[in-house]
Amino acid sequence: MCGIVGFTGRQNAAPILLDGLKKLEYRGYDSAGIAVMDDNGITVQKVKGRIANLCEKTKDGEAVPGFTGIGHTRWATHGAPTEENAHPHLSNDGRFAVVHNGIIENYSTLREELLADGYHFESETDTEVIVHLLEMYYNGSIREALIRTANRLSGSYALGVISSEEPGKIYAVREASPLILGVGIGENYFASDVTALVNHTRNVIYLEDGEFAELSESSIKIFDVLGQEVSKKPTRVLWDVQAAEKGGFEHFMLKEIMEQPGAVKATIAPRIRDGKVVFEELQGILPYLADIRKIIITACGSAYYAGCAGRYALERLTRIPVEVELASELRYSEPLIDDTTLVIVISQSGETADTIAALKECKTRGARTLAIVNVVGSTVAKLADYTIYTWAGPEIAVATTKGYTTQITVLYMLSVYFSDHLWRLTVPEETLTDMLMELPRRIQQAIDMNPTIPALAKKYHDHKALFFIGRNTDYATALEGALKMKEISYLHAEAYAAGELKHGTIALIEEHQPVIALCCNPSIMEKTLSNIVEVKSRGAEVLALTFRNNQKILSTADDLLFIPDVDALFSAVIEIVPLQLLAYYVAKENGCDIDKPKNLAKSVTVE
Ligand code: AGP
């Protein structure tokens, strides 16, 4: 996810663009840039790192004169966070500049075509194909060039464009990425969200998918995908800036929980083509895939629990033994690793000290290494032999949610991809990829099916301890559910393999002790039901997470959370969502600092 802004009017654009980018920095902050137009043409200034570096380089914009411009703050998805990969991107002839938020899924095909046509690329990004297509299609009308360019793109894009061919104008194009126009007096704007606009105007127009706009200081024209002009009335923004950064949500954590359908879709969609999982970044691993005798997944915290959840699909589909190890343990355990071992390292930040140390230890022992990371160009990504990025966008809340579910999603896709290339699939690949493509919708359903969670939180928020129990895939999810509860609500919570309770821990179950029972795996449902009866007979109050039609559980549990029907093979990314929301609302009841819990950091870069 990135932030884009545009301005045209009768005052210097650069300081306004920088101010807008500062308000969008939570959307992405690994590099930034502006392009400003004056009588001498387009000037582009870009930096690696934060907006502050761009302000310093441009003397807060004073060093870049011109009344028309566009700006971008980046969350890298294709190409490391470098100055060359920062936006805006300039056409070879210097007449067009583009900023982009989204993912161009067919960029590699377009890049090959443009290279063959003699266009020169400065960056590794997907975005740069757009500015060369504009140059190629321009024949006197920018509107026409934009329509022809947009017709070649597949994926998601919010674009900002300026051209020296049309001084004083900025163009905005929207497809599956938010883009809002700001209506001023003698000046006009666009931005990725209202955060960047409300200091200048509260009159905004929300572009719809397929629409594009031509803005000058005195006019805004909006067109549909066929180039027909459409009329749209401005609406008034009532949010304050702080609320707008969180998209109207009270906390970043709740916003990021709600972003999970989109984050999982962004992670899946570009990698499924014609019913098959495609990992272009893993071509080099295929020749020796058949030599892999063991897979070790290693990580910390929720990333470790993501490994625990994903290992079931990985083993079931690839038939390769999978071990999941805490990075802080693995690094000191003299692991039995050699070149027949594939080590999968999972990390949202890519900067966790124990995970980096474990990765180095495994490389030293000859393992081939594959990283699943959210931050492009991070240390883990650079150290691993292969890297698959989750495209969750920046995760601001310390407690991970979309980072966790997109990590598991990549493990699911990897399971199908490896199984296909090992000739071990027992069902048509398309059946599995259809199930994967369904996940974003199922996650949304899991959010919508549980309106009682705030009330349940009021009931459970002041117990001194909570138990989470489950078996197999349910147990893996219970581990993450307990961690979420602990780290943001400060209630003691423990996850137990349901079958283990009777071996000691059931001694702790007393009258009214809350037990959260995960019952989302039909093949072992009866066993978990007996565990529910066990704890209820000792006075526990059971909150069960299960399917709507599970009558036995429904008639046994005291309270219920639901998930939509989904195969247990891919259920972990759905099961966790009601538990994330339960932890969130319990923490809210307890008055905790949800986005910045005490004693925690977003990335644990120390051992
Ligand atoms: C998750 O909610 C926690 N904030 C923490 O356990 C985190 O998952 C762990 O520190 C690993 O971080 P990483 O994914 O950035 O490596």
The answer to whether residues 290 and 433 belong to one domain is yes
Alpha carbon distances (Å) from 422 to 116, 385, 519: 35, 20, 32
- Ligand 1: atom nearest CA of 355 is 16
Which two three-digit tokens encode residue 293? 């005798």
Reduce the DSSP state of residue 564 to 3 states and report it.
Answer: coil
Can you tell me which residue has the tokens 């039609």? 549
Q: Hey, what are 123's tokens?
A: 């960056």
Give the pair of three-digit tokens for residue 478: 């219970």
Pull the structure tokens for residue 232: 């749209």
- Centre of ligand 1 to C-alpha 329, Å, is 16
CA-nearest residue for atom 4, ligand 1, is 399
Residue bearing tokens 């989750």: 390
259 within domain boundaries: no
Strand ordering across the sheet containing 514-518: 492-497, 465-470, 514-518, 541-546, 559-562
pLDDT value of residue 497? 96
pLDDT at residue 393, as a whole number: 85
Sign of torsion, CA 441 446 450 453? negative
Amino acid 243: pLDDT: 61
Ligand 1: centre distance to CA 477 (Å): 15
Q: Are residues 204 and 276 in the same domain?
A: no
DSSP lists the bridge partners of residue 215 as 170, 220
pLDDT in tens, 306-339: 999 999 999 999 999 999 999 999 999 999 999 9
* C-alpha span between 412 and 312 (Å, rounded): 9
For residue 482, being part of any structural domain is answered with yes
User: Do 283 and 396 have their domain in common?
Assistant: yes
d(CA 465, CA 536): 16
Same domain, 437 and 453: no
**Is 260 within a domain?**
no
CB 337 within 8 A of CB 365: yes
Residue 256 maps to a domain: no
Q: Which residues are catalytically annotated?
A: 2, 602
598 vs 300: which has the higher pLDDT: 300
* Beta-bridge partners for 205: 181
CA distances from 65 to 162, 182, 354 (A): 15, 22, 47
Whether residues 185 and 141 share a domain: the answer is: yes
DSSP state of 300: -
Instruction: Please check whether residue 79 is in contact with residue 94, taking contact to mean a CB–CB distance below 8 angstroms.
Output: no
User: Model confidence over 68-84: pLDDT tens digits?
Assistant: 999 999 988 888 889 99
Q: Are residues 304 and 441 in the same domain?
A: yes
Does residue 204 share a domain with residue 131?
yes
In a domain, 515, yes or no: yes
Atom of ligand 1 nearest to the CA of 349: 15
Residue having the nearest C-alpha atom to atom 5 of ligand 1 = 301
SS (H, E, C) 367-424: CEEEEEECCCCCHHHHHCCEEEECCCCCCCCCCCCHHHHHHHHHHHHHHHHHHHHCCC
The number of beta carbons lying within 10 Å of the beta carbon of residue 284 is 10
Q: Which residue has the tokens 């986005």?
A: 595
Q: Is residue 283 part of a domain?
A: yes
Q: What is the mean pLDDT of the chain?
A: 94
Res 240: pLDDT: 66
Q: What atom in ligand 1 is closest to the CA of residue 302?
A: 8
CB atoms within 10 A of CB 65: 15
Give dist(CA 61, CA 17) in Å, integer.
8
Q: How many beta carbons lie within 10 A of that of residue 232, not counting itself?
A: 14
CA of 487, closest atom in ligand 1: 2
Give me 274's structure tokens: 């014609």
Ligand 1 geometric centre to CA of 240 (Å): 31
Best mutation site among 260, 300, 607 for ligand 1 pocket (most ligand atoms within 8 Å of CB): 300
- Answer whether 356's CB lies under 8 Å from 380's CB: yes
* Cα–Cα distance measured from residue 522 to residue 606, given in angstroms and rounded to the nearest whole number: 41
Count of domains observed in the chain: 3
Q: What is the pLDDT of residues 462-506, one digit of tens each?
A: 998 999 999 999 999 999 999 999 999 999 999 999 999 989 889
Q: Which two tokens stand for residue 542?
A: 């059971």
Please tell me whether residues 564 and 490 are part of one structural domain. yes
What mean pLDDT comes out for the span 186-199? 91
HSE toward the beta carbon, residue 575, CA cutoff 13 A: 34
The token duo for 558 is 């005291």
- Which pLDDT score, from 0 to 100, does residue 599 have? 79
What whole-number percentage of the chain has pLDDT above 70? Answer: 99
Q: By C-alpha distance, which of 179, 181, 199 is closest to 239? A: 199
Between CA 76 and CA 15, with CA 46 as vertex, the angle to 5 degrees is: 115
CA 290 to CA 281: how far, in whole Å? Answer: 18
What is the distance between the alpha carbons of residues 328 and 349, in angstroms, rounded to a whole number? Answer: 16
Helix residue spans in 319-352 (DSSP H): 327-330
CATH number at residue 19: 3.60.20.10
DSSP 8-state code for residue 58: T
What is the layout of strands, in order, in the sheet containing 212-215?
89-90, 96-104, 155-163, 170-175, 212-215, 220-223, 229-230
Question: What is the CB-side half-sphere exposure of residue 46 using CA atoms within 13 A?
Answer: 24
Backbone angles phi, psi at 191, to 5 degrees: -165, 165
Contacts of 383 (CB under 8 A, 6+ apart): 356, 359, 360, 363, 369, 371
Q: How far is the CA of 250 from the centre of ligand 1 (A)?
A: 22
150 found inside a domain: yes
CA of 297 to the centre of ligand 1 (A): 15
Give the pLDDT of residue 244.
Answer: 59
Q: From CA 111, how far away is CA 280, in angstroms rounded?
A: 15
- CA gap 487, 583 in Å, rounded: 9
Instruction: Answer whether 0.95 is exceeded by the pTM.
Output: no
Mutate to test the pocket of ligand 1, among 352, 389, 396, 606 (most ligand atoms within 8 A of CB): 352
Band (pLDDT 50/70/90 cuts) for residue 28 is confident
Q: Which residues line ligand 1 (CB under 6 A)?
A: 300-303, 347-349, 352, 355, 398-400, 487, 603-604
Phi and psi (nearest 5°) for 369?
-125, 140
- 76/86 Cα distance (integer angstroms): 9
Of 383, 416, 447, which residue is a domain's last? 447
Identify the pLDDT of residue 135: 98
pLDDT tens digit sequence for 125-177: 999 999 999 999 999 999 999 999 999 999 989 999 999 999 999 999 999 88
Kindly report the CATH number assigned to the domain that includes residue 505: 3.40.50.10490
Which of 431, 447, 463 is a domain's end point? 447
Q: 585 CA to middle of ligand 1, Å?
A: 20
H or E segment and range at residue 236 = strand 235-236
Per residue in 205-245, pLDDT (tens digit) is 999 999 999 999 999 999 998 889 999 999 888 766 666 57
76 and 200 inside one domain: yes
Helix ranges, 396-501 (H): 402-421, 429-448, 453-460, 473-489
Contact (Cβ atoms closer than 8 angstroms) between residue 134 and residue 148: no
Q: Whose CA is nearest to atom 8 of ligand 1?
A: 302
Range of the domain at 152: 3-244
Task: State mean pLDDT over 258-280.
Answer: 95
Gap between the Cα atoms of 158 and 118, Å rounded: 26
Cα distance between residue 262 and residue 265, in whole Å:
5
**How far is residue 102's CA from residue 111's CA, in Å, rounded to a whole number?**
17
At 453, give phi and psi (nearest 5°). -60, -45
DSSP state of 81: S
Residues 463 and 515 in one domain: yes
The DSSP element (H or E) to which 577 belongs, if any, is helix 572-589
Indicate if 86 and 189 belong to the same structural domain. Answer: yes
Residue-wise pLDDT tens digits, 340-374: 999 999 999 998 989 999 999 999 999 999 999 99
Instruction: Please report the pLDDT score of residue 248 as a whole number.
Output: 81
* 600 domain-assigned: no
Phi-psi category of residue 348: left, alpha or beta, with phi > 0 → left and psi -120 to 50 → alpha: alpha
pLDDT-derived band at 416, boundaries 50, 70, 90: very high
Asked if 487 contacts 493 with a C-beta cutoff of 8 angstroms, the reply is no
Mutate to test the pocket of ligand 1, among 604, 605, 606 (most ligand atoms within 8 A of CB): 604
Domain identity same for 517 and 556: yes
83 secondary structure, DSSP code: T
